Chain A
Amino acid sequence: MAQTLSSAANYLALLFILLCLGLILFYYFSDATREKINLRSIQAFTHFRRQVDLAVEAGKRLHISLGRGTINDLQGGAALISLTILDHCARAASNSDRPPVTTSGDGVITILSQDTLQATYRSLAAEQRYDPTNARLTGLTPMAFAAGAMPTIHDEYVSANILAGHFGTEVALLTEAGERSQSLTVAGSDSIPAQAVLFATADEPLLGEELYAAGAYLGGGAVYTASIRMQDILRWVLIGAMVIGAILKLLGILS
């Protein structure tokens, strides 16, 4: 019986994933001809774009912290989103006097951030600006990672910190460092305790799944917009399922 239930759950999960995939592909191709898709305003991304421009104008540096989530783990989604944000920042700040610097707390993410920076500069025909030491592993434990990233915020003429990825409560140390160095901090994490901390400490916190919308808000392309639309639809599906389940439970129909 348990085996049958497990198989049913497995097939349900597969069906859910296929539904997600179908929705992404549908919106990806159907929205390809649309000129513009309106997204609700998220203040953090508005300030983020402005701050990137200001950093380039002022000849200052952008600090992008990718967190300490490994790609093999549940935090892999946040880690990959942080790479997308890194790509955008590197492109936007490619003309800046000081190239952006990244910090991370995981070896795989460090290598991927180096790869992303190199690929971005290569696509801009500015590979000579790539410096592997601009993508840094600052520590392998959360506190060591935060302690290693704090000097980067303090000492490297950083005008804006973008903390995107998997962080714990140690992210408060980074936001505090940003406040002391009078640089803007835009931060988002997939961790619930970290989001609570960021609400109190960050200049522009990204709460919930806002972090995962970064690609669409930073002009990543149609596939990111299609992902957001898929998430919106499935969110309503889940809300409906929960409400119906609760009603059935109240009525005693569902055991």
Chain B
Amino acid sequence: MTDIICPLCGKPNPPDLDECKYCQAPLKTGGFIAPPEGGDELDKLISPSGESGEPGEQEAVASTPPNLEQSVPDWLKQTEANFLDQSETTPSKSEPEEPGPDQISGQIDSLINQPPAHPAGQDNVIDDDWLASLLSEAGVNEPAQSGTPEKSAREPVEEPAQAPAEEQSQEEFPEKAGTSAEEPSEEEQATPALPVEKPAWLTSLEAASKIKMEGVVPPAEVHPEQPFVEEAAENAEEQPPEPPDWLKISAVEESTSTPPSQEAEPQISPAELPGWLEALRPSEAVAPTGPVEDVSNADIVTAGPLVGLRGVISTHPSAIRARKPPTYSIKLRVTDEQKARVEMMEELLAGEDKPTPLPTQPIITSRYIFRIIVAVSLLLPILWMIISGRQDAALPQTGNIPGVVNFTQEIQKLPTGAAVLVAFDYEAGFSGELNVAINSVITQLMNKNVYLALVATNPSGPALGESTITNVYSGLVGNTTTYNFYTNLGYIPGGVMGLSGLATSPRSVVPYSLTSDNVWAGAPLDAITSIEDFNAVIVLTNDSDTARNWVEQVGPRLRQANKPLLFVSSSQAEPLILPYYQATPSQVQGLIGGLAGGVAYSRSVGNFQQNGVWDAYSIGVTVSILIIIIGSVAGGVMKSIPTDKKKEK
């Protein structure tokens, strides 16, 4: 059952009513025919005559043929007659090229929907369609069309009983075009549009027609509704090519010729639009001259804000309405494990909403307390020993520490006034450990009146050497008199390469002293050209790598010249230097290692000062041992005690 949509309220009304039962608005003039309920686009495509039984529309269609027939010029009638004769006489010619009626239908549809810019061979099809639609408008209907290829092509899909009017066959093309434009079928996509054979008469007609250049089927809109005529006219304003005069006349007659039933209806007076809406309207100054787009067979919107309009995109696309949504079972087959995971996931998601407080780091932790205990345990006994100056711990014996005796002997062998190279290659932080030995060694050298040449391969070495010489000499003489029998050659950059250069040519590597004096020009360094010319080389270092550099770069030259290479090292470097001392032949001739070596050497030369350092060292070592044992045992016990967290794990 087809309802008529009220143009005012948009509600469906029975077709037998003249006025809307909701708002009493006249339906016959402005009403819209709603699409059949439950019908879909596919039905419309397959049976285009499905709505032919609509009385209102039948009236409208019936009223158009006489007018159109009058408007057709004579030459066109003649052309039509020729065409019909030719098509009747040559049906077998077109059969081989058009294998089946379905394909023909598809080809026609695809050809209609082709864009304007197409190969020339396809224009023939457009001409045919244009002519067919023109013929249908002109009322050349059933008898003539039944014999045409187009008609024969549609016969299998059309119901013969309905005997479609030409208008319906005409409406079918754009509708299919619209459908194919939205959802092109596979057949259309796969096969290109085949050119339809063009009759000879049409070739001559082609030149005379300008419409064919548009590539658009000229619509002969016969719909009675006034607004759509206006809309078509407005659209036509935008078409620059002029249609033929006969078509203009026809259009004018169409607009004026209305069926008697509609003439009786009162015209809807144009509404007064607000200024802003008036401004939005296209200019009416230009009269419609070109062919307009045929929207007569487009869908009418039946719902939403655009209700009642034709040819606009509906908010409820027909493609969606056409399909009944498939029904799926909402019952899922879930295993127990999946259920458990889902529950776990839900718990996690529920927990996401709850803000979790950031883990606060307590200022006082067990580690912090343990650190404090370690520091206090180490500091207090050491401070107590240094302040009290006690000497309870047994001093190390010279014979028990390897290298000290040999070191002492090598120093004693040095002649008075000899030149000795002393390398201050230790870090300032190790002064506390090394100063006991270094002070004793420098004192011994000063007492023997040895000329000291100070060098360093680390940046703080020159300052360390300078301050050591100053401090030792002031301790020796008891005043601030400057010691002059030495030179500070400064810092040697380049690490091992600089050291290699010093071994081969010391004058070129360190040409001037820190005071910018050319010390190589005066005695006793004027006799020195390479490193083996020094009577001895003493390296003061805390780093085993530095010691290795000296052994490898300088040691061979000294051994060749039978000159001693002596080391004063920290405890951490001693184990790695000791093999060089114990090697046969020894690469290091004397070694003082660590605080124990320094104390032993100081005692052997009679330079040891009783200042509580050795006792502080002793108690520091003892306390360290206790802390390590207690900490390890406590840690082991804590690890072995099962805590709640471990139990949970």
Direct contact of A and B (CB under 8 A): yes
Within 8 Å CB of B545, what residues of A?
73-75, 166, 191
Tell me the A178-206 residues at the B interface (CB within 8 Å): 182, 191-193
Tell me the B571-585 residues at the A interface (CB within 8 Å): 572-573, 576
| CB of B429 closer than 8 Å to a CB of A | yes
B495-524 Cβ-contact flags toward A at 8 Å (1 or 0): 111100000000000000000000000000
B467, chain A: closest CB distance, angstroms: 15
A141 & B458 in contact (Cβ 8 Å cutoff): yes
Tell me the A36-51 residues at the B interface (CB within 8 Å): none
Contact of A141 with B460 at beta-carbon distance under 8 Å, contacts A70-B495, A74-B496, A169-B572 already known: yes
Within 8 Å CB of B548, what residues of A?
74
Within 8 Å CB of A191, what residues of B?
544-545
Contact of A193 with B497 at beta-carbon distance under 8 Å, contacts A140-B459, A142-B427, A143-B429 already known: no
B576 & A192 in contact (Cβ 8 Å cutoff): yes
Q: Identify the closest chain B residue to A191 (Cβ).
A: B545
B427 & A141 in contact (Cβ 8 Å cutoff): yes
A142 to B458, CA, bound (A): 10
A112-141 Cβ-contact flags toward B at 8 Å (1 or 0): 000000000000000000000000000011
Within 8 Å CB of B543, what residues of A?
168
Q: Identify the closest chain A residue to B542 (Cβ).
A: A168
Within 8 Å CB of B458, what residues of A?
141
B460 & A193 in contact (Cβ 8 Å cutoff): no
Given contacts A72-B495, A73-B496, 5 further A-B contacts (CB under 8 A): A72-B498, A73-B549, A74-B549, A143-B427, A191-B544
Contact of A72 with B496 at beta-carbon distance under 8 Å, contacts A141-B428, A141-B459, A192-B576 already known: yes
| CB of A2 closer than 8 Å to a CB of B | yes
A219, chain B: closest CB distance, angstroms: 30
B166, chain A: closest CB distance, angstroms: 68
| CB of B494 closer than 8 Å to a CB of A | yes
B532, chain A: closest CB distance, angstroms: 14
B544 & A192 in contact (Cβ 8 Å cutoff): yes
| CB of B610 closer than 8 Å to a CB of A | no
A193 & B572 in contact (Cβ 8 Å cutoff): yes
B550-575 Cβ-contact flags toward A at 8 Å (1 or 0): 00000000001000000000001100
B429 & A73 in contact (Cβ 8 Å cutoff): no
A191 to B548, CA, bound (A): 12
Tell me the B458-484 residues at the A interface (CB within 8 Å): 458-460
Within 8 Å CB of A70, what residues of B?
495
Within 8 Å CB of A169, what residues of B?
572
A2 & B494 in contact (Cβ 8 Å cutoff): no
B635, chain A: closest CB distance, angstroms: 13
B78, chain A: closest CB distance, angstroms: 75
Q: Identify the closest chain A residue to B543 (Cβ).
A: A168
Q: Identify the closest chain B residue to A193 (Cβ).
A: B572
Tell me the count of chain B residues lying within 8 A, CB to CB, of chain A: 21
Within 8 Å CB of B428, what residues of A?
141, 143
A62 to B366, CA, bound (A): 28
Is the interface on chain A under 10, 10 to 19, 20 to 34, or 35 or more residues?
A: 10 to 19
B558, chain A: closest CB distance, angstroms: 14
A70 to B549, CA, bound (A): 13
B458, chain A: closest CB distance, angstroms: 7
Q: Identify the closest chain A residue to B576 (Cβ).
A: A192
A118, chain B: closest CB distance, angstroms: 25
A254, chain B: closest CB distance, angstroms: 14
Tell me the B392-437 residues at the A interface (CB within 8 Å): 427-429
B576 & A72 in contact (Cβ 8 Å cutoff): no
Q: Identify the closest chain A residue to B573 (Cβ).
A: A193
B454, chain A: closest CB distance, angstroms: 18
A137, chain B: closest CB distance, angstroms: 12
Within 8 Å CB of A140, what residues of B?
459
B124, chain A: closest CB distance, angstroms: 57
Q: Identify the closest chain B residue to A71 (Cβ).
A: B495
Interface pairs A-B: 4 shortest CB-CB: A73-B495, A72-B495, A193-B572, A73-B496
Q: Identify the closest chain B residue to A179 (Cβ).
A: B367
Within 8 Å CB of B495, what residues of A?
70, 72-74
12 contacts between A and B (CB under 8 A): A72-B494, A73-B545, A74-B495, A74-B496, A75-B545, A141-B427, A141-B458, A141-B459, A141-B460, A191-B544, A191-B545, A193-B573
Within 8 Å CB of A143, what residues of B?
427-429
B361-385 Cβ-contact flags toward A at 8 Å (1 or 0): 1000000000000000000000000
A2 to B428, CA, bound (A): 40
A148, chain B: closest CB distance, angstroms: 14
Within 8 Å CB of B427, what residues of A?
141-143
Within 8 Å CB of B573, what residues of A?
193
Q: Identify the closest chain A residue to B548 (Cβ).
A: A74
A162 to B573, CA, bound (A): 25
A168, chain B: closest CB distance, angstroms: 6
A158-180 Cβ-contact flags toward B at 8 Å (1 or 0): 00000000101100000000000
A170 to B361, CA, bound (A): 27
B548, chain A: closest CB distance, angstroms: 7
A2 & B560 in contact (Cβ 8 Å cutoff): yes
Within 8 Å CB of A182, what residues of B?
361
Among A70, A73, A191, max chain B CB count under 10 A is at: A73
Within 8 Å CB of B544, what residues of A?
191-193
Within 8 Å CB of B496, what residues of A?
72-74
A192 to B573, CA, bound (A): 9
A191 to B545, CA, bound (A): 8
A74 to B549, CA, bound (A): 8
A166 to B572, CA, bound (A): 16
Within 8 Å CB of B494, what residues of A?
72
A70 to B494, CA, bound (A): 8
Within 8 Å CB of A142, what residues of B?
427, 429
Q: Identify the closest chain A residue to B571 (Cβ).
A: A193
B433, chain A: closest CB distance, angstroms: 12
A55-83 Cβ-contact flags toward B at 8 Å (1 or 0): 00000000000000010111100000000
A192 to B579, CA, bound (A): 15
A35 to B458, CA, bound (A): 47
Within 8 Å CB of A75, what residues of B?
545
A2 to B562, CA, bound (A): 14
Within 8 Å CB of A141, what residues of B?
427-428, 458-460
B459 & A72 in contact (Cβ 8 Å cutoff): no
A73-108 Cβ-contact flags toward B at 8 Å (1 or 0): 111000000000000000000000000000000000
Among A2, A141, A182, max chain B CB count under 10 A is at: A141
A70 to B497, CA, bound (A): 11
B110, chain A: closest CB distance, angstroms: 49
A168 to B425, CA, bound (A): 14
A166 to B560, CA, bound (A): 32
B579, chain A: closest CB distance, angstroms: 12
A198, chain B: closest CB distance, angstroms: 14
A2 to B585, CA, bound (A): 14
Within 8 Å CB of A193, what residues of B?
544, 572-573
A143 to B545, CA, bound (A): 17
Within 8 Å CB of B429, what residues of A?
142-143
Within 8 Å CB of B572, what residues of A?
169, 193
B89, chain A: closest CB distance, angstroms: 75
Q: Identify the closest chain B residue to A180 (Cβ).
A: B367
A75 to B544, CA, bound (A): 12
Within 8 Å CB of A166, what residues of B?
545
Tell me the A1-32 residues at the B interface (CB within 8 Å): 2
Q: Identify the closest chain B residue to A166 (Cβ).
A: B545
A141 to B428, CA, bound (A): 9
A72 & B549 in contact (Cβ 8 Å cutoff): no
A142 to B573, CA, bound (A): 15
